[in-house]
A = this chain, B = another copy of it.
Amino acid sequence: MGKKSLHDSLPSASDSPSQQVVKLNVKWWGWGDLSKSYDLESRKTFVKFLREKLHCSGDVVQQPAPLDSIKFSPAKADASFVRSLINIFGLENVHVDDMDRFLHGFGKGYLDLIGAWKGTPGRLPDVVVYPTNEAQIAKLFDLSMNGDFVVVPYGGATSVVGGVDVPSGGQTAVCLDFRLMNEILSIDEKSLLADVQPGCLGPEVERALGSVGLTLGHFPQSFEFSSVGGWVATRSAGYESTRYGKIEGMVESVRLMTPQGTIETPRVPASAAGPDIREIIVGSEGAIGLITSVTLRLRKAPESKSYVGVLFRDFEDGVEAVRAMVQKDIVPNVVRLSNPSETEVSIVLSRRDGASYVEKVGGWFLKKRGYLGTSGALMILGFEGSNERVGLERKLAVASCKRFGGFSLGEGPGRMWYKERFELPYLRDELMEMGIMIDTLETATTWSQLSTLHSQIMAAFRGAFEALSVSGFAMAHMSHVYRTGASLYFTFMAQQLMGREEEEWHLIKNKVTDVIVASGASLSHHHGIGLEHVKWMEPYWGTLGIRILKSIKHELDPKGIMNPGKLVPSG
């Protein structure tokens, strides 16, 4: 499935850096396609909003460092090692040129992008290899018995927590890019299962499944660029997770190759045969081995889809409406409830050279009824499935909202959210041009804790902005809803402290994450651990938890070559 064609389109070493990047269409300093950007031109009100909140000029004040200006450290890979790799993977699939190393050196975290913007990326991999089959991976592990190198697995590289960053340390770093292992190996339409290679990207998966009337139903915001292997390795969640669950529930079986051998978990819908080893491999973030195939649980493609907007007088009303709904077994595919600050941004962003969707409904009316102002909370509800079920769920869900004062805005806001659901990450790039720091973080907690935690985190952001003496702005939504609780997702922005960008980010991230972990909420609901969250793993799981994880790592990767520094603290 595209294996050959992909490889043919890879730029050659004789291309200049800029030519290579243009060929790949990769926006190395931002999100997604180089040729794509978020439309701020038609959103003048939003720029005005930014000027007010962040006291920035709203003009473009910086550009990413030109590729040709970047100084690359030399690759630490001796010739005989590279020869061995070429022996294994073939000449065309072993790369040591600077541009390939640069493009494999980081993901999409704020710190990653800062490095890219400044032209000072962190450590780059020394060699990039593209395996095409498992036998090659086995040979790489054989080589590791004698060699002194580490392996950093690389899928779609959309990690926002440093998941693909190269570890510091003296060992040669081999980046293993799964891009050429991107086949759908088989589809069992009777059992609704597909065997998929880890390098398949979201659209490749859905295209293949869609052609036989099926869907995986997993749509993380990174969907267009992230890979199956990455989803499984990081416990990813899609926007339909409220009904369909996270990726861990979509894995029937998984195959893991480790330096000590290979394990494939039984292909069964459920088991009582002891601890679930599948749940050890899912979320292992490349730190114990390489996921080389996944058997995914599928669904029939939905007959119909319906997305609606509902406005609440305040966040609390919306939270209670959602809780009442899911605890009565009314489970929409999508539930996304913005807090007042995000609602404000959402309304402003929807005003494109004209009225926002709220104004179309009748802003004056909503204002009078108390829905607009400082406390309004916008909810997007999405329903997919059989016509009959979509109809019933929507009826019951909207009725539940009305009991808590929800005002139905109809399908307008729902349709707009659906249309733009993968676009928002592009906005970050435009903001960084204006000298604005922007990042997201997320957690999950029980219903009893949810409102308190929301307030505590919002306060922690304010405290951090104050400590830094910057104008900042934080907003949140609740999504990924469960019977016992939900996820909270935060976006925060502030003026960049030029020259101190990393320090600024760390201070905010630390303050907020300390609050999350102290409250007992999820260290991460779906971003994963990577490098950024490692230091909280022991407070989160406790000493014995870390000992369990380390004992597994030691058993499967005794020399510690797999993605060192990620997932668990080293040593």
Residues of A within 8 A of B (CB): 188, 190-193, 234-237, 246, 248, 252, 258, 260-277, 279-285, 297, 299-300, 323, 327-329, 385-386, 388-389, 392, 396, 444-449, 480, 482-487, 520-529, 533, 537, 540-545, 547-549, 551-552, 554-556, 567-568
Whether B268 contacts A485 by the Cβ 8 Å rule is: yes
Whether A273 contacts B544 by the Cβ 8 Å rule is: no
Complex-state Cα separation, A537 to B274, whole angstroms: 9
What residues on B are CB-neighbors of A554 within 8 Å?
551
Complex-state Cα separation, A449 to B264, whole angstroms: 18
Whether A188 contacts B448 by the Cβ 8 Å rule is: yes
Whether A192 contacts B327 by the Cβ 8 Å rule is: yes
Minimum C-beta distance from A569 to chain B (A): 12
Minimum C-beta distance from A260 to chain B (A): 6
Whether A522 contacts B275 by the Cβ 8 Å rule is: no
Minimum C-beta distance from A108 to chain B (A): 16
Minimum C-beta distance from A204 to chain B (A): 21
Minimum C-beta distance from A276 to chain B (A): 4
What residues on B are CB-neighbors of A396 within 8 Å?
388
Which residue in chain B gives the minimum CB-CB distance to A189?
B448
Q: Which 7 A-B pairs have the closest CB atoms?
A: A279-B279, A269-B482, A235-B272, A551-B555, A191-B446, A269-B485, A263-B544
What residues on B are CB-neighbors of A526 within 8 Å?
270, 272
Complex-state Cα separation, A554 to B281, whole angstroms: 19
Whether A483 contacts B280 by the Cβ 8 Å rule is: no
Complex-state Cα separation, A525 to B270, whole angstroms: 6
22 contacts between A and B (CB under 8 A): A191-B484, A192-B327, A236-B272, A261-B543, A263-B544, A265-B541, A266-B520, A266-B522, A268-B445, A268-B446, A268-B520, A268-B525, A270-B522, A272-B528, A273-B523, A276-B282, A277-B545, A297-B484, A299-B329, A547-B555, A547-B556, A551-B551
Query: Which single member of B192, B235, B236, B261 contacts A271 (CB below 8 Å)?
Result: B235
What residues on B are CB-neighbors of A270 within 8 Å?
237, 246, 444, 480, 482, 487, 522, 525-526
What residues on B are CB-neighbors of A524 within 8 Å?
271-273
Whether A269 contacts B300 by the Cβ 8 Å rule is: no
Which residue in chain B gives the minimum CB-CB distance to A277?
B545
Whether A237 contacts B272 by the Cβ 8 Å rule is: yes
Which residue in chain B gives the minimum CB-CB distance to A276?
B279
Query: Which single member of B252, B268, B275, B389 contacts A284 (CB below 8 Å)?
Result: B275
Minimum C-beta distance from A301 to chain B (A): 12
Which residue in chain B gives the minimum CB-CB distance to A261?
B544
Whether A522 contacts B271 by the Cβ 8 Å rule is: yes
Evaluate whether A266 and B541 lie within 8 angstroms (CB atoms) in the complex, with A274-B549, A276-B279, A551-B555 already known.
Answer: yes
Beyond the given A268-B445, A273-B537, A548-B556, could you list 13 further A-B residue pairs with CB under 8 A, ordered by the A residue number?
A: A190-B323, A191-B484, A269-B486, A271-B525, A272-B525, A275-B549, A276-B279, A277-B549, A280-B280, A297-B484, A300-B328, A329-B389, A551-B554
Complex-state Cα separation, A296 to B478, whole angstroms: 23
Whether B275 contacts A280 by the Cβ 8 Å rule is: yes
What residues on B are CB-neighbors of A300 within 8 Å?
327-329
Whether A275 contacts B552 by the Cβ 8 Å rule is: yes
Whether B271 contacts A547 by the Cβ 8 Å rule is: no
What residues on B are CB-neighbors of A276 within 8 Å?
248, 276, 279-280, 282-283
Complex-state Cα separation, A389 to B545, whole angstroms: 41
Report which residue of A191, A252, A480, A522 has the largest number of chain B beta carbons within 10 angstroms of its beta carbon.
A191
What residues on B are CB-neighbors of A392 within 8 Å?
388, 392
What residues on B are CB-neighbors of A555 within 8 Å?
547-548, 551
Minimum C-beta distance from A250 to chain B (A): 10
Complex-state Cα separation, A540 to B277, whole angstroms: 12
Which residue in chain B gives the minimum CB-CB distance to A271?
B522
What residues on B are CB-neighbors of A521 within 8 Å?
266, 268
What residues on B are CB-neighbors of A549 within 8 Å?
274-275, 277
What residues on B are CB-neighbors of A328 within 8 Å?
300, 386
Whether B446 contacts A529 by the Cβ 8 Å rule is: no
Query: Which single member of B266, B279, B386, B522 contacts A268 (CB below 8 Å)?
Result: B522
What residues on B are CB-neighbors of A271 within 8 Å?
235, 444, 522-525
What residues on B are CB-neighbors of A448 within 8 Å?
188, 190-191
Minimum C-beta distance from A279 to chain B (A): 4
Query: Which single member of B480, B543, B548 contacts A277 (CB below 8 Å)?
Result: B548
Report which residue of A392, A522, A543 has the largest number of chain B beta carbons within 10 angstroms of its beta carbon.
A522
Whether B285 contacts A446 by the Cβ 8 Å rule is: no
Minimum C-beta distance from A500 to chain B (A): 29
Minimum C-beta distance from A432 to chain B (A): 25
Report which residue of A192, A275, A328 has the largest number of chain B beta carbons within 10 angstroms of its beta carbon.
A275
